[in-house]
A and B are shown apart, each in its own frame.
Chain A
Amino acid sequence: MSEPLPVTVVGGYLGAGKTTLVNHLLRHADGLKFAVLVNEFGALPIDEDLIEAQSDDLISIAGGCVCCSFGSDLTAALLDMGAREPRPDHILIEASGVAMPSAIAANVGLQEGFRLAGIVVLADSETVQAQAVDDYLGDTILRQLKDADLIVQTKTDLVEAPDAVTRWLSARAPGVSVLQAKQGQVPRDVLLGLETSGQPSLSSHADASFESHVFATREGVDALELARELAVGGYGLVRAKGFVRDAEGQVQLIQIVGQRYEVTRFGRQMPVELVCIGLKSQLSTARLKALLR
């Protein structure tokens, strides 16, 4: 059986930049085949120059990517995408502006053959604070932020003090990494998780605000306990992925996004090392080294 298909849920209110972010990913797919699921085909979910062909419910995109609308039946759309030939490498679900991303993520969890790679919630630097106190929207916006594994703060160039907004966001969703982005530009590995090859490709993005390290891990660890510690121990990790060997000699795959962690038994022997990515300003390299070695 093939590996579960990773699924990333992209949430946030209207205007937060979900479509921009998705288009940025498609534009820089680098051979990765994305399947994008949108609630409905709003006012052009995909940049026109990327579209190769379009039918009522499917848009074919340059580079083997596709976009389809799921309406009220996400399950059916997921299964369709999972059965596509060639198989997509990653599914992006663009949630509607008032949807709760955690509810969509829970549905992904019901389906065999899919794996939640993370919930990314976008927040518009200019409007998110006003939205959070809006009579109608406030609780919805705050619930969306709390749902996030990663918050992407967009339109930072349009406000005078983006860092103040970042601090405000961090206070609304304690422990969740907040990444600043312009025009949806966040390194793909950070946003969607590291590819199975395990090698970080951050250098190719030349993004100065992130750093990544590869740590060899000691033998005989309790994988679940280690994963939990990495996720919630305040190491400044945004993403981590890699392999450890437990006391029985079994290889375990650890995947972390924000405070979400997952441990799965891995059938093959692998080099036991862990790739850790975080914001330069936040990653506690020394503490990580002490924990892992």
Chain B
Amino acid sequence: MSDITIYSAKKIITMNSSRPEASHVAVRDGRILGAGTLEELATWGAHTLDTRFADKVILPGFVEGHAHTMEGSLWSKVYCGWFDRADPDGKLWDGLKSLDAVVDRLKAAADVLSDAEAPVSGWQLDPIYMNNTRVTRADLDRVSTTRPVGVLHASGHIMNVNTRALELAGLLKQGINHPGIPLGDDGLPTGELKGPDAMTPVGAHVGFERNLLDADEGGLRNFAKLCVRSGTTTITDLASRMDGETVEMMLRVTGEKSFPACIVPLRFFMGLPAAELIEEVKRLKGLSTERLRMGRIKVVADGSIQGFSARLRWPGYHNGAENGLWYIAPDHLAELYERALEAGLQIHTHTNGDQATQLALDKLAPALQKHPNPDHRFTLQHCQLADAAQFKQAAKLGMCVNLFANHHFYWGDEHYTLTVGPDRATRMNACRTALDAGLPLAVHSDAPITPLAPLFTAWGAVTRLTASGRVQGEQERITVAEALHAITLGAAYTLHMDGEIGSIETGKRADFAILEQDPTEVDAVALKDVPVWGTVQGGRVFAAADL
């Protein structure tokens, strides 16, 4: 008989509707024996009473349904964001409020490098908050003229580089004619590179390797630390190319006894024809372990709203920009849906614009008639602009949605004034409407696009505050209880994992978020500030302070 540990807590919020609260939880073999009173749990027999959480509040470990492990890798570069952000080691980096401050931080990073030609790379620059300042190579030449310097924007779609980087990439020349490479009065590139096409040739010279989608080993370990610090015990990697080496590395690292999270990587749809993709994902599914759960597919249907590459229905972009781009041919999407349903595999589809969402709905309906699969749980990811009719249709089709609640805070003001205008900005990431339509709901950070912090994401869905402090779309706010459900059972449901995680009840994996305060007792506006002590994952205790 294995050992039983019973943890006492100030309060346990179980998310199990049969028994929403408890004072104790019993764990054996990494799984939950039960939640209840000490007396009830003691009936299981000999146990150890562990009181270290006696003054803490325990919730089910948070489930992040849309993030990218590359966040872990990015922390090896210089943080240049506008907002304060904690790194994997818990160090809080101040947000940088001017271009001078960005240059200074990059210069400080350059000064400690011994190799005089080594690149300096930064990430998360967001000139939107600096009155849309156009950063130029002259600005970054102040960091260094001898080493290449490159800074990735928060959107991930724009990069600024210095003169040396352009030189190394062979782009410091007259006569360049490329929509992603603006030229200065001198006829030379300004150093701004827009879109992957323009970024790729230079990226390799400034420390942004070609395959940004996959985390490296150090990045994966960093990513796991961020999970512990945010109370997250299960997290998706949406998506990974999952080449042989990456899969081998992920299996090895997540298999280590001390690895504190369950990673759910979705295979990116590109690179293989539909039939072969299905076979490959079936194979990967078979390789899954307790902490690396493969066997799902991620499809990207369109681009981003702030990049004007999302596909919008009439009347299109508020500023008159041309409609965005398809990242998959509609017929290709239909084929993937059919084959995945037939094979019993799940697809999560990135749809930012409402036309992309409509395409997904239109293609799934006939595919389901061909291959009925009532529990497919195909999930719309981001789905930022969907209206009530689309949410209702998605619900009828048995879909789930994972809305980008954080986006609303970080770029809500810009959507209001520039991209889609007041009316549609008000309904973006409409959590209330989605729930009212009966849709299983998750909310997400899309880390590294915004920081991994499920309590912040829940706060975003509850308050709908934008960075300028406006409530945008108060009718779309949801309750704290609904938001906490979305970051636990809700997200677990979108992964077909709600039977094993997402609540604290008998039989489930012993995954807990250990909090210093009760998120249901604090003011809703303070939800994001509830301190996280750490996690328990599979019965193993991880204190953020010990990482």
Contact = CB atoms under 8 A, between A and B. Distances in A.
B178 A110 contact: yes
Main secondary structure of the interface of A (DSSP, over half): loop
Contacts of A75: 200-201
A106 interface: yes
A136 B177 contact: no
A106 B179 contact: yes
A133 B210 CA distance: 37
A43 B270 CA distance: 13
B197 A103 contact: yes
Nearest to B314: A135
A76 B169 CA distance: 12
A41 B325 CA distance: 22
B20 interface: no
Contact of B210 (A40, A69, A76, A107): A76
Contacts of A40: 270-273
Interface in A121-149: 135-137, 139-140
A109 interface: yes
Contact of B332 (A41, A97, A136): A97
B286 interface: no
Contacts of B327: 98
B326 A98 contact: yes
Nearest to A98: B326
A42 interface: yes
A136 B314 CA distance: 11
B270 A98 contact: no
A71 interface: yes
A76 B201 CA distance: 8
A261 interface: no
Nearest to A113: B170
Task: Report, as a range, how many residues of chain B touch the other chain.
Answer: 20 to 34
A13 B329 contact: yes
Given A103-B179, A109-B177, A112-B170, A73 B329 contact: no
A272 interface: no
Contacts of B197: 74, 103, 106-107
Nearest to B275: A43
Given A72-B270, A75-B201, A98 B328 contact: yes
Interface string B170-210: 11000011111100000000000000111011000000001
Given A73-B210, A107-B178, A136 B270 contact: no
A100 interface: yes
Contacts of A106: 177-180, 197
Contacts of B332: 14, 97
A72 B196 contact: yes
A82 to B, nearest CB: 13
* Residues of B contacting A: mostly: loop
Contacts, number: 67
A96 interface: yes
Interface residues of A, number: 29
A139 B329 contact: no
A69 B270 CA distance: 11
A140 B330 CA distance: 11
A109 B176 contact: yes
Given A40-B272, A72-B196, A75-B200, A109 B178 contact: yes
Contacts of B198: 110
Chain B CB within 10 Å — which of A42, A72, A107, A140 has the most? Answer: A72
Contacts of A140: 325-326
A139 B323 contact: yes
B201 A110 contact: yes
B359 interface: yes
A98 B302 CA distance: 11
A136 B359 contact: yes
B355 interface: yes
A136 B210 CA distance: 31
Interface in B347-390: 355, 359
A33 B141 CA distance: 44
Contacts of A109: 176-178
A71 B201 contact: no
Interface in A45-96: 69, 71-76, 96
B329 A96 contact: yes
A138 B271 CA distance: 26
B325 A110 contact: no
Interface in A193-235: none
Given A40-B271, A76-B210, A136 B355 contact: yes
A109 B325 CA distance: 21
Contact of B271 (A71, A96, A137): A71
Interface in A1-29: 13-14
Given A109-B177, A111-B201, 17 more contacts: A14-B329, A40-B270, A40-B273, A41-B272, A41-B273, A73-B200, A75-B200, A96-B329, A98-B325, A106-B197, A110-B176, A110-B201, A135-B355, A136-B326, A136-B330, A137-B330, A140-B326
9 contacts: A40-B272, A42-B273, A69-B271, A73-B200, A96-B329, A97-B332, A107-B178, A110-B178, A137-B330
Interface of A: 13-14, 40-43, 69, 71-76, 96-98, 100, 103, 106-107, 109-112, 135-137, 139-140
